[in-house]
Amino acid sequence: ARIRRYKWEAKYEYKSPDCYKKLVITINGRSPGPTIRATQGDTVIVELKNNLLTENLAIHWHRIRQIGTPWFDGSEGVTQCPILPGDTFTYEFVVDRAGTYLYHAHYGMQRDAGLYGSIRVALPDGKSEPFSYDYDRSIILTDWYHKSSYEQATGLSSIPFVWVGEPQSLLIQGKGRFNCSLPSVGAGLCNATSPECSPYVLTVVSGKTYRLRIGSLTSLSALSFEIEGHNMTVVEADGHFVEPFVVTRLFIYSGETYSVLVTANQDPSRNYWSTSKVVSRNSTTPNGLAIFNYYPNHPKKLPPTIPPRGPIWNDVGPRLNQSLALKSHRNFIQPPPKTSNRVIVLLNTQNRVNGNVRWSVNNVSYNHPHTPYLISLKENLQNSFDQTPPPEGYDDSNYDIYSVAPNVNGTTSNSIYRLQFNSTVDIILQNANSMNNNTSETHPWHLHGHDFWVLGHGKGKFNRSTDPKNYDLISPIMKNTVPVHPYGWTALRFRADNPGAWAFHCHIESHFFMGMGVVFEQGIDRVGKLPSSIYGCGDTKGLLRP
């Protein structure tokens, strides 16, 4: 195994990813940041300098389990103190499994500002995937706002509430296109001919098969992705091989990664469109556009057709069907434990708390403590967070998930779920109506430090006595981000076998910021000595003696 060493500098710079100039957080001058490449078993070391001048920072290595290094998970408030402006922090972790991973900021709403990238971990020599392809490409899909993440965060926590609204554009591998001729655009801010916003081009050779590793790190949007005239065969989801199935549109939620195989088998004398479109919200955001370029056509030659418009935004059926179609590849099944020790039901609610609009589970909205949990747990600082356990469920015999709750008041808390080490835990994500009539949103939930089995998805209210009978305990897919569809439920199971404190939250940046998350603790007594670099904030000041 090798050591992969990176030296990164994060700073704000003016960039125009969709032709509109704004301050973007770059890593070594780039957004998306550099791709980390490694082979299974390697150690990755990232020496990160915070040159943001006035903002703190933390980076999360999305989907890396951090076994034995829970302190380098990068979730500020949970596993570390923030990295202060001017400071350098070194992350060091082992990439123990091959696959497609992401990284992104995990402080405030900075992911929105452009701090994200990919991690590609190759299989060791002599091992191969259960499918073949000629070339391998990575694409990250995002949505893009012109307001700064600081302004968005301030609006979300203001009274009256200022919602972030729909994004201005969709980016494909960091490139999009905003309509600079709109009258609302100030002079000098938008340059339609800037090379920074020329569409992303994926060049292919006729007859060859491409593995596209597609990840979504949208701030808000659920997306449908397609390549005009080409089918895609889904072969990997969140790093796990799936029993292959063919789609014309891939639905992808923030925090998910998929590999699809695409064969360049159409008329090679022209180029094709590749598009991303917002689904699940009635969005005003124009579709993202990229060019699927057949060599040797000029990469900038526009396809002769109108770009595909994509699916209807509110048709949940095909999205639920894709969730149901995802099964573990038959040769790579890791069967789940047949029973669980504990069932926690998390009702996704929107609430009003002290005049603020918040997202919650079971009417409790999450707040970061001043002291990261990992440190307060390990140092036994009982006053650093609320020690009362959070609710295990909601009043499911009386709660009407199809209506606005008669009482939308909620509370905030920083209490956590303490799981018995090595126990098996079931989580039922139950969706419901938000505070607006006839509205239920899609929430992609992401678990740090673990993968989980997806045991089932259903419509309506989860029934504790009948629905578990239909769980897939034979070949469920393992993931670490999973959507709960509008007015539906999702059941997942995991082993609490990774000592540490781990966030579990909706991957929509504004939803997590508004409290849509929880934290799980397990096996804290087995956590090794914490590195001094994660200390420095809240009640950890002064804890480090020379």
Answer with the entry of Cu ion, ligand C2O, none that 511 interacts with (C-beta below 5 to 8 A by kind): Cu ion
Which amino acid makes up residue 23? L
**Least distance to ligand C2O, CB of residue 106, Å:** 6
**Least distance to ligand C2O, CB of residue 54, Å:** 23
358 belongs to the binding site for ligand C2O (CB under 6 A): no
**Residue closest to 351 by CA, chosen among 402, 391, 388, 406:** 406
Pick from 48, 279, 508, 518: which binds Cu ion (CB under 5 A)? 508
Other CB atoms within 10 Å distance of the CB of residue 220: 22
φ, ψ for residue 427 (rounded to 5)? Answer: -120, 130
Answer with the entry of Cu ion, ligand C2O, none that 448 interacts with (C-beta below 5 to 8 A by kind): ligand C2O
511 belongs to the binding site for Cu ion (CB under 5 A): yes
User: Cα separation of 267 and 248, whole Å?
Assistant: 17
65 belongs to the binding site for ligand C2O (CB under 6 A): no
Distance set, CA 434 to CA 172, 356, 409 (Å):
30, 14, 12
| 218/274 with CB nearer ligand C2O | 218
Answer with the entry of Cu ion, ligand C2O, none that 49 interacts with (C-beta below 5 to 8 A by kind): none
Q: Give the strand order in the sheet containing 272-279.
A: 200-204, 288-294, 272-279, 222-227, 250-252
Q: What are the residues whose beta carbons fall under 8 Å from the beta carbon of 211, sequence distance 6 or more? A: 131, 133, 135, 136, 137, 235, 259, 260, 261
Q: What is the CA radius of gyration of the chain?
A: 23
Pick from 22, 106, 368, 450: which binds ligand C2O (CB under 6 A)? 106
| 60/485 with CB nearer ligand C2O | 60
Contact segment (CB under 5 A) with Cu ion among 15-23, 40-48, 324-332, 505-513 equals 505-513
62 belongs to the binding site for ligand C2O (CB under 6 A): yes
Lay out the site mask for Cu ion across 438-457 (x = CB under 5 A, - = otherwise): -----x--------------
Distance set, CA 182 to CA 168, 172, 187, 275, 439 (Å):
12, 22, 11, 22, 30
Answer with the entry of ligand C2O, Cu ion, none that 329 interacts with (C-beta below 5 to 8 A by kind): none
Tell the burial category of 312 from Cβ atoms under 10 Å away from its Cβ (0-12, 13-18, 19+).
exposed
User: Cα separation of 376 and 539, whole Å?
Assistant: 8
Alpha-carbon torsion, ordered 362, 503, 166, 359, to 10 deg: 20
User: Cα separation of 118 and 301, whole Å?
Assistant: 28
SS3 sequence of 481-540: EEEECCCEEEEEEEECCCCEEEEEEECCHHHHHCCCEEEEEECHHHCCCCCHHHCCCHHH
Contact segment (CB under 5 A) with Cu ion among 87-95, 207-215, 350-358, 437-445 equals 437-445
Answer with the entry of Cu ion, ligand C2O, none that 450 interacts with (C-beta below 5 to 8 A by kind): none
- Counting residues that bind ligand C2O (by CB under 6 A) gives 11
Lay out the site mask for ligand C2O across 476-515 (x = CB under 6 A, - = otherwise): ---------------------------x-x-x--------
82 belongs to the binding site for ligand C2O (CB under 6 A): no
Answer with the entry of Cu ion, ligand C2O, none that 479 interacts with (C-beta below 5 to 8 A by kind): none
142 belongs to the binding site for ligand C2O (CB under 6 A): no
Contact segment (CB under 5 A) with Cu ion among 7-15, 203-211, 493-501, 508-516 equals 508-516
| 373/445 with CB nearer Cu ion | 445
Q: What is the DSSP letter of 318?
A: H
Answer with the entry of Cu ion, ligand C2O, none that 175 interacts with (C-beta below 5 to 8 A by kind): none
- Counting residues that bind Cu ion (by CB under 5 A) gives 4
**Least distance to ligand C2O, CB of residue 448, Å:** 6
Question: Any idea what the Cα angle at residue 375 is, between residues 538 and 219, rounded to 5°?
Answer: 75
φ, ψ for residue 483 (rounded to 5)? Answer: -85, 150
Pick from 59, 139, 171, 506: which binds Cu ion (CB under 5 A)? 506
Pick from 21, 49, 104, 457: which binds ligand C2O (CB under 6 A)? 104
Locate 213 and state its tokens. 């590793």
Answer with the entry of Cu ion, ligand C2O, none that 506 interacts with (C-beta below 5 to 8 A by kind): Cu ion
Tell me if residue 228 falls in helix, strand or coil: coil
Residue ranges in contact with Cu ion by CB under 5 A: 443, 506, 508, 511
Residue ranges in contact with ligand C2O by CB under 6 A: 60, 62, 75, 104, 106, 255, 446, 448, 503, 505, 507
